[in-house]
Structure 1
Amino acid sequence: MLADLHQRGETIAVAESLTGGLLVAELIRPAGASNVVYGGVVAYNTAVKASVLGVDGELLRKHGPVHPEVAEQMAEGVRHALAVDGSPASIGISTTGVAGPGPQDGHPEGTVFIGISLAGRTRSFALHLDGDRGQIRAATVGEAVRILSAQL
C-alpha cells in the first residue's frame, strides 16, 4: 500500500486516541514509510483533540470523544497539524473509541470510530469490536489499515 501511495505522491498523517500510537507504528513498520507517513499525534486526552487537532470544543462537550464526527474532525485536523512546508498531508486517518475495561461516556467497550480524510471528503466508520483492551486496540489497528486500503 505505501509503495502505491508513494508512486502517486500521496502522504498520510495519523491521529490516535485509543490506539495510543499503535496505528502509526504499524504504518511506519515497512522500509520506505518515511516517503509517505508524515507522522502521528496521540491525542489521548480529550482537550488535546481540540487544542492540537482542531476538533470542535462544543462537539466534544456535547458528545464526548467517542463520536463519528470527532473521528472525522481528528482525521481532517491531523492533515493540517502535521503539514510539511505548509502542505497538509493528502490523507488523514484517526482512531477514537473505548478500549475498556468497561464503558466510557455511555459507550460500551469495543465502540470505535475510524476517521478518513482524503480526496476532498471526510467520513467515519463505526466498529463494534470484542475482546479485552489489548485485543480491541490491536483489532482497531487492523481494521484501520483495512479501511484505509479499501478507500484508496
Structure 2
Amino acid sequence: CGATLFVLPGRLGGHNAWDPRGPRKPLLSADGIRHAAAEGVEIGSHGLTHTDLTRADDDVLAAEAGTSRALLEELTGAPVDGFCYPYGAVDARVLAAVREAGYRYACAVAPGPLTGPYALPRLHIGQRDTAWRLHLKHRLHPLRRRPVKGV
C-alpha cells in the first residue's frame, strides 16, 4: 500500500472538534472510509475520538486503542495494523496499550527516547502541503526513512 489513512471511528462524518482555534474541517463518513479501503488505501486508527492518550485513564486508553481498532475492522472488513497517536503524544504506558490492543506498528510526531515499531517517527502532512513541499519534507528528514527492526 502506498498510503495509510488514520481514522477516528468515534467521529465519522464529524469535524475536527479537538482544534477549537482552527477552521472546521469535515471528516470522512463511514462510506468514505469504506471507499478508501476498497481503493487500496490502508486504514489505521488515530484513536476513537482524538484524545491525548498520555493524559487518559486506563479505561479511556483501552477504548481509544482497542475499541477504535475493532470498529474500523468491522467497518472495512480488513485487519487494522497501524495506529497514529493523537497529537503525536506517546509514552511507555500508551505504547504498551497500543501493542496490547493488537496493532503491528504505531507512529508518533516525536517519539523521544522510545524506538521500535510502536514509536515510528512521522512527518505532519497538512492540506497546504504541495507536491514540492512533500518532496522537501522527504529529503530533509532522512532519519524518518531508516529501516526499523520488527516492521
Same fold, TM-score > 0.5, yes or no: no
The structure with the larger Rg is 2
Larger RCO (CA under 8 A, 6+ residues apart): 1
TM-score by length of 1: 0.30
TM-score by length of 2: 0.30
